[in-house]
Amino acid sequence: MKYFRILAIAAAFTAISACSTPAEPQTEDIQLNGTWAWRLIPASWTELDGLELTTDGDLGQLGYLATVPCTVMGAIANDEVLVGMNYKDIDRTQFEEPWWYMTTFELPQLKDNQRAELAFDGISYRADVWLNGTQVASSDELYGPFRQFSYDVTDLLKADNKLAVKVYRWQPGEFNIGFVDWNPRPADESMGIFRPVWIRYSDAVSMKNPVITSKVDTVELDEAWLTVEATLCNSSDAEVSGKLIGKFDGKKFSYPVTLAAGETRTIKVTSEDAKALHMKNPRLWWCHNLGTPEMYNMDLSFVVNNKVSDSHSIDFGVRQIDSYINESKGRQFTLNGKKVLIKGAGWTDDIFLRNPDGRNMIEVMYVKHMNLNTIRFENVWGTSQNIYDTCDKLGVFALVGWSCQWEWEVYTGKPNDRYGCIATEEDMELIAESFEDQVLWLRNHPSIIGWYAASDMLPRPELEQKYLDILAETDTTRPYMVHAGSATSPLSGPAGMKMWGPYEWQAPYYWYSEEAKGNATGFNTEIGIGAQFPVKETILKMIPEDQLWPIGEAYDFHCTTSRDALHDLNELKTVIEKRMGGADNLDEFIRKAHFIDYEGTRAMIEAHRVNVPRSTGVIQWMLNSAWPSLYWQMYDWYLVPTSGFWSVRKGCAPQQLIYNYGDNHIYAVNDEKEDVELKANLKAYGLDGKLLCDASATADMPIGSSVRLFEVLPKGEDINDVMFLFLTLTDKKGNIVSKNEYVIAEVMDKHDWNKYRWWRTQLESYADFSALDDLAPAEVVVSVSKESTERGAMPSVTIENKSDVVAFFVRMDIKYGNGEIFPALWSDNLVTLQPGETLTVNTGTMIIDGIDAELVISGWNVAEQVIIL
């Protein structure tokens, strides 16, 4: 399937006390994944029961081969069901019955005193489990996708083993994985084993949920104090004495522990107990825009009589995350004592929960490449811990918590009140247990900077108290947000967030207006401009050829599933008609849709930079899409960036000049760790290429600042409908630090502030950019240079505008021989060049020897050129 082509693409990117040395560990964890073949069948395809399937029963070649983790649809579907309106034709009755997941696996004989557990990180929604003829678990107690389960199977394991898991689909009223209105519901309701299955070994004493936390001297940054915590379980009928031993970064500590027969106890070792845990000059974990995300590894073992009873290898970061509510009622995050403006977007897993590690790496690299620093995981996403591991390694924050899926009857199938759908004591206990399991599972990740207890609504007070009690025992090192909105909890106080929308297109000046509910003040947890149209190559994959033009039902099917709005392209079509003069064909529609996205998404993010410290965070809704979509995405399902991707990268450059649509001034912003003094230059050109303004100023830019510099040329008769702004920051040697370009209309958009709905505020009138259609052609000369490597070449592209007019909105793509776009990490794209300007752009991507590839360049007023690479 095309979906898994990304695996190939990913390859193209790139003590205090002396203690004797224990014997080699007898423990190991074995993941039952692709190493063993799994087979899936509907239960009705066989009369064999769990006992028979895991003893002498033989199904031959019956069923679907699968690699676990996977949902049923993830195993049986192909990408064609996502094209056009084919999704409607999926036979959903096949998921009304349970499905069997079956595998066989070989294991070495257990050693003396060794024990084994069968563990499930995530199953949706219920399951019966059989192993070697014995029922291990029943669907009466194994249910809930965010609960984790483990079973002692010491006496059941053999050399050759048979495992069968009978999975039951979610039923209305149950609390499942949720995609809300972002895309169609998964046809199978995500039924399946969607997270790893493990065989976990230990001796008599097992170690569970180890965690390493840190406190940092946030003034000098030269000291840190670690705490190591783990739960030890003595499964034997005798007292056991041993040592908890940790080794990391050339240091070692040993802490004595005695456990009574059958005792389970959580052990906490602090820097007062072990001097090795007091770190001098630690390598701190930073988000990527503030420094290096340094990681450590600790080997933590419980040793009895010089033998390892259980051990864990733990990756961790040394960092301190805090937050407070500022004067603008926004939650301000700090990392190691430094204020951080949260700039991020909302994540979703694939519609069938197919998220291989290679794809995760590309997607987080994309976040970093856009100069964003955060991903919001509304649903505790992830088919394994890999997505959070990747955030750790690349220095990208993660905000993690529950989805609004459980807050509205239309999604859960259970009536909601002002606290959502989690109402009964039984339901609250289920969700509280799920919350605890997820916190314990993920709390070692330094990238995770906060837990959301809810999204749209406040949780019921009784439920919130459970959350608070859980965190008091399991994680006091991160901020807790009662929900993603602006409500105040009687238990935990104000959330310090804001969720007023919009979710549909708004004019660029909206974000700067004091009258806009979703303006760039406080912490906006989910805002966006609606449709973010992909490139034509993607459209050709997702829309049947006979439905490409005019825009119609097949396109609308790939918008959101919201009932009130956002379920068609009517708003985008209106904006293109009113602002851009309409479109007569698909190519023109795409080009103008891309301009709307580029301009609108950048303005939304940039306004939050301009408005610091009144603004503390912004989450673009959304980052990615669960399926081929036209809405809410910085790159499409095929991993091709949208135009907003490139404008956000530019607008979020660490040191940048920004045009404020609200007051018509230029601002200098600085997200780096140092104060700087740079030179700012503004040039303005008319549609005819006439230079209207050339102004310079010294930009004194303190850390985390937004400094107003000068006013843009007042709008008048010389502008001729639109003008182009070119903003450039240079250092003292004249080297370019950053560039930013805008197109400004003579008459601006105007909102009717009395016509607010949750998804948008209606416009009263629109700016007029139709004159861009009259932009004279620009002659552009393109050349390519290549830096050779052992495996291929890294191309750079130089574009020279030899015209006396602006070369506008020039797009560069590297394509395979079959026409597919290679997801390159361009240093810039959709570029606009001044008359006579020369620009060199790095592709950031290696073209492997032997791969047929070509560079395709075209622009608003630039003819297409193709260069073989």
What is the rounded average pLDDT of the residues 195-208? 97
Alpha-carbon distance values, 100 to 57, 79, 124, 194, 384 (Å): 13, 23, 13, 14, 21
Specify the 3-state DSSP secondary structure of 25: coil
pLDDT tens sequence across 767-789: 999 999 999 999 999 999 999 88
Out of 45-49, 590-594, 850-854, least confident range: 850-854
Phi-psi region of 313 (alpha: psi -120 to 50; beta: other; left: phi over 0): beta
| Nearest partner of 644 among 604, 681, 679, judged by Cα | 604
The tens digit of pLDDT for each residue in 349-405 reads 999 999 999 999 999 999 999 999 999 999 999 999 999 999 999 999 999 999 999
Q: Would you list the DSSP string of 80-101?
A: GGGSTTGGGG--GGGGSS-EEE
pLDDT recorded at residue 33:
87
Average pLDDT score over the chain: 95
Per-residue pLDDT averaged across 85-104, rounded?
A: 98
How do residues 836-845 score in pLDDT, each as one tens digit?
999 999 999 8
Look at residue 27 in the predicted model and tell me its pLDDT: 53
Q: What is the C-alpha radius of gyration for the chain, rounded to an integer number of angstroms?
A: 28
464 Rama class: left (phi>0) / alpha (psi -120 to 50) / beta? alpha
Q: What tens digit of pLDDT does each residue of 450-465 get? A: 999 999 999 999 999 9
* Per-position DSSP letters for 44-56, written without gaps between them: GG----HHHHTTT
In angstroms, the CA 478 to CA 482 distance is 13
pLDDT surpassing 90 at residue 37 = no
Distance CA 474, CA 209 (A): 10
Q: Which amino acid is at 279?
A: M
Instruction: Match domain 657-773 to its CATH number in 3.40.50.300, 2.60.40.10, 1.20.5.50, 3.30.365.10.
Output: 2.60.40.10
Q: Return the axis-axis angle of helices 643-651 and 586-610, rounded to nearest 10°.
A: 20
Segments in 453-526 forming alpha helices (H): 461-474
Is residue 305 within 8 Å of residue 476, measured between CB atoms? Answer: no
In the prediction, which pLDDT does 490 show?
98
Per CATH, the number for 205-316 is: 2.60.40.10
Using an 8 Å Cβ cutoff, are 298 and 314 in contact? yes
Both tokens of 105, joined, read 């696996």
254 beta partners? 245
CATH value of 776-868 in 3.10.180.10, 3.65.10.10, 3.40.50.720, 2.60.40.10: 2.60.40.10
Cα 563 to Cα 3: distance, rounded to the nearest angstrom? 29
Q: For residue 28, what pLDDT band results from cuts at 50, 70 and 90?
A: confident
Q: How many residues does the chain have?
A: 869
Over the stretch 258-291, which tens digit does the pLDDT of each residue have? 999 999 999 999 999 999 999 999 999 999 999 9
**pLDDT band at 849, cuts 50/70/90?**
confident
Domain parsing of the chain, residue ranges: 34-67+70-194, 205-316, 321-531+604-655, 657-773, 776-868
At residue 4, the pLDDT reads 40
Of residues 535, 628, 531, 622, the one with CA closest to residue 572: 531
The residue ranges of DSSP E strands in 446-521, in sequence order, are: 448-452, 480-481, 488-489, 493-494
Look at residues 808, 781, 624 and name the one whose alpha carbon lies nearest to residue 726. Answer: 808
Spatial CB neighbours of 490, under 8 Å, sequence gap ≥ 6:
461
Q: What percent of the chain has pLDDT over 70?
A: 96
Both tokens assigned to 31: 């993941």
Task: Give the model confidence (pLDDT) of 626-660 as tens digits.
Answer: 999 999 999 999 999 999 999 999 999 999 999 99
Fold type of domain 321-531+604-655: TIM Barrel (3.20.20)
pLDDT band for position 60 (50/70/90)? confident
DSSP secondary structure code for residue 510 in this structure? G
Domains 321-531+604-655 and 776-868 share a fold: no
Residue 8's pLDDT is what?
Answer: 40
Q: What is the pLDDT of residues 734-752, one digit of tens each?
A: 999 999 999 999 989 999 9
CA distance 799 to 195: 47
- pLDDT confidence bin for 721, thresholds 50/70/90: confident
What is the fold of 34-67+70-194?
Jelly Rolls (2.60.120)
Q: What pLDDT band is residue 715 in, cutting at 50, 70 and 90? A: low
| Three-class SS of 15-41 | CCCCCCCCCCCCCCEEECCCCCCEEEE
Tokens of 58: 């033989």
Q: What mean pLDDT do residues 529-543 have?
A: 98
Which amino acid is it at 605?
Answer: I
pLDDT at 10 over 60: no
pLDDT at 3 over 70: no
Q: pLDDT category, 720, cuts 50, 70, 90?
A: low
Q: Taking 80 as the threshold, does the pLDDT of residue 16 lie above it?
A: no
- As a whole number of angstroms, the distance between CA 83 and CA 627 comes to 10
Percent of the chain at pLDDT above 90? 91
The one-letter amino acid at 109: Q
Cα 303 to its chain centre, rounded Å, is 39
- Tell me the residue type at 754: N
pLDDT tens-digit map of 104-161: 999 999 998 899 999 999 999 999 999 999 999 999 999 999 999 999 999 999 999 9
Structure tokens at 324: 């407070």
- Integer Cα distance of 681 and 188 in angstroms: 56
The answer for residues whose C-beta is within 8 angstroms of residue 397's C-beta and 6 or more apart is 287, 340, 342, 344, 373, 374, 375, 391, 447, 448, 449
Distance CA 72, CA 101 (A): 9
Task: Specify the pLDDT at position 719.
Answer: 60
| Cα–Cα distance, 667 to 656 (Å, whole number) | 8
